[in-house]
Structure 1
Amino acid sequence: MRGTTVLPGTPCSAPRDGEPPVHRLEVRLPDEVPFAVGTFDGIGPMSRAGFPHRHTFYELVHVTAGAGVHVVDLDRHVLRPPHLGVILPGQVHHWEDVRGLDGSVVLFTPEFLVDHPGDRELLRRLGERPWLALDAADHARTGRLIAELSEEYAQGAAGFASVLRSLLHVLLVRTARLPGPAVPDAAPLPGRGHQSRAAGLAEEFARLAARTAHEAPTVRECAERLGVTPGHLAEAVRAVTGRTPAALLREARVCEAQRLLLSTGLSVRQVAARVGFADPAYFCRFFRRETGRSPGDFRKHHDRRAASLEPGDRSA
């Protein structure tokens, strides 16, 4: 890929023993845009990595051929191409038993969306239905748009970054229109400017909640970090998501715990500590209350950990 690569060679080391590796989008030159598009082969072997890992960037995958399974967090998606998939920053994913995998991959950082900040909300909502089966017409339209992205990226002509952002915006809007499991619309707010500010604040809060799940911050602490009052934060988050900040903080901790239970060999005590619980027994009660089952039962039911991520094994 011209000027851009995803972790050539080997993956990054896990941030702490037993946790999934974190991959970042690397650019060789500071003036290169944080964006890449190409085939699975063109992007490189990390585009079809068979071990659980996270990204600091967004990834769209247009699967045109192949067999196997794509695993995102707790969901297993059997390949029956064509598909369009969305992987959000922080999610744990990997490919399992894939054969003949072909298609295109689009990679970009949150900062790349500067021209269309509303695309972050689109991506958040697409993340709630991240694996879409395409009919012939949608498959063809998606392929044409990605081909345009690839051509523009390869040419690198004057203003290509703005063109890439515009084409990506069209791709995301059209993807959001595709049929699939219903995604509730955000509750409207009076005034477009008010709605935009609330959506931006709610998005910042969601990212903060995911990033700090191990710290177990309070709503007040989050509001202080974001420079707003707890009341203002609660109003914005409820207006956009229909939920309270406290509920989203709990969800972020549960989601992180589920990821660690599913994709690592950490003990329940270690997972509890990773998500901010000093008392493993209290963590187990919390987990059962939020999910309906104990951490041990959850892991047993979803026991698909990768041996390469067991504590002390750095072979990945």
Structure 2
Amino acid sequence: MSKAHIPTYDICSLAMEKPASEDILVARFSDYLAAHPDIRFPHRHSFYHLAFFTGGAGSHTIDFERFPVKAGQLYFMIPGQVHSWFFEGKTEGYVVNVSAGFFTAFLQDAEYVERFPFFSGVSTEGVVQLPRQGIAAIVALFEKMLEEQRSAEFYNHDMMRLLMLEMFIQVSRVASKGKTRQDPPHSHVLLRNFRKLVEQHYMQLRLPKDYAALLYVTPNYLNAFCRDMLGKSAGEIIRDRVLLEAKRLLINADMSISAIAYQLSFADNSYFTKFFKKYAGVTPEEFRKNIS
């Protein structure tokens, strides 16, 4: 497989059994790796991707942030994120590939799953380390999902939905333990809406005041809110999204720096290069050379 571009996989293209489901795949990690040896290279998914490690070593990179693989780690990735891995020795655990629509026919609130903090699309927020005493309960849920996937019982997909939602809730509770405060629900709604707007408009809208207007708040309030919730200003969050997309595009060796600058709505190649060097620490050419 060429590494000059980032391939995007759908669930059926990574199927392991016939007939393939277009909505969900649950597999043991070792079986998944054996069936798809080339997916260690950078790639995207058109679905939600969950990886749970119960054993192994090495590293897992999500959107150019590298994490050491450890037992008890859960990785939650949303559609479009770029990831790759390099494992050392035998890797054990579970993989779940699930479509965005898997829950919509089951839940009245179509955005329910997006409320879980690990589905924010931010790499560091999508990695959860379970305490040793909590691993067995999550393993049991994955084993039940595997059993339901193999079964021909009525409502087996609904049972898998219930098991997965139980897992999301349990992991969310673990991830929130030790927090010194509990933010009010409306704060999470505003943050989620801001991030969704950035995802939709970062190519064209680069100023906090543009998003503040869409959210019916003042720019000062939006900046203060983002600093309180994330430790970053609204402008930094917008900038980080532009920088991430630049890195994703630079993997495609067939795309010129000028073409990337144009696609990202920079006035010229020079401005894009200065922007990238300032915030990535290297020029676009150096970044491309380092990842090739």
Superposition TM-score tier, normalisation by shorter sequence:
0.7 to 0.9
* Structure 2 CA distance for aligned equivalents of residues 184 and 56 of structure 1: 36
Structure 2 counterparts to residues 286-297 of structure 1, below 5 A = 286-289=275-278, 291=279, 293-296=281-284
TM-score (norm 2): 0.73
Please state how far the C-alpha of 1:187 moved relative to its aligned partner.
5.5
Match of 1:38 in 2: 27
Match of 2:8 in 1: 22
Residue 129 of structure 1 aligns to a residue in which SS? helix
Does 90-99 or 270-279 show the bigger shift? 270-279
Q: Equivalent of 2:114, from 98, 120, 140?
A: 120
TM-score (norm 1): 0.68
Q: What is the aligned residue count?
A: 272
Unaligned ranges ≥5, structure 1: 1-10, 224-228, 306-316
Report whether the alignment pairs 1:303 with 2:290. Answer: yes
Structure 2 counterparts to residues 71-150 of structure 1, below 5 A = 71-114=61-104, 115=107, 117-122=111-116, 123-125=118-120, 127-150=123-146
Q: Is the 8 A contact 2:65 2:123 kept in 1?
A: no
**Aligned-residue identity in percent:** 21
* Structure 2 CA distance for aligned equivalents of residues 80 and 31 of structure 1: 30
Q: Is the 8 A contact 1:268 1:295 kept in 2?
A: no
Please state how far the C-alpha of 1:53 moved relative to its aligned partner.
0.7
Q: Is the 8 A contact 2:56 2:87 kept in 1?
A: no
* Structure 2 CA distance for aligned equivalents of residues 230 and 180 of structure 1: 28
Match of 1:161 in 2: 157
Please state how far the C-alpha of 1:163 moved relative to its aligned partner.
2.2
* Structure 1 CA distance for aligned equivalents of residues 265 and 137 of structure 2: 45
Report whether the alignment pairs 1:257 with 2:233. Answer: no
Please state how far the C-alpha of 1:247 moved relative to its aligned partner.
5.5
Match of 1:7 in 2: none
Structure 2 counterparts to residues 114-263 of structure 1, below 5 A = 114=104, 115=107, 117-122=111-116, 123-125=118-120, 127-179=123-175, 188=184, 201-202=193-194, 204-209=196-201, 216-218=203-205, 231-235=213-217, 238=222, 248-261=237-250, 263=251
Amino acid at match of 1:205: L
Please state how far the C-alpha of 1:183 moved relative to its aligned partner.
8.6
Residue 103 of structure 2 aligns to a residue in which SS? helix
Unaligned ranges ≥5, structure 2: none
Amino acid at match of 2:5: E
CA RMSD of aligned residues (A): 4.1
* Structure 2 CA distance for aligned equivalents of residues 282 and 68 of structure 1: 37
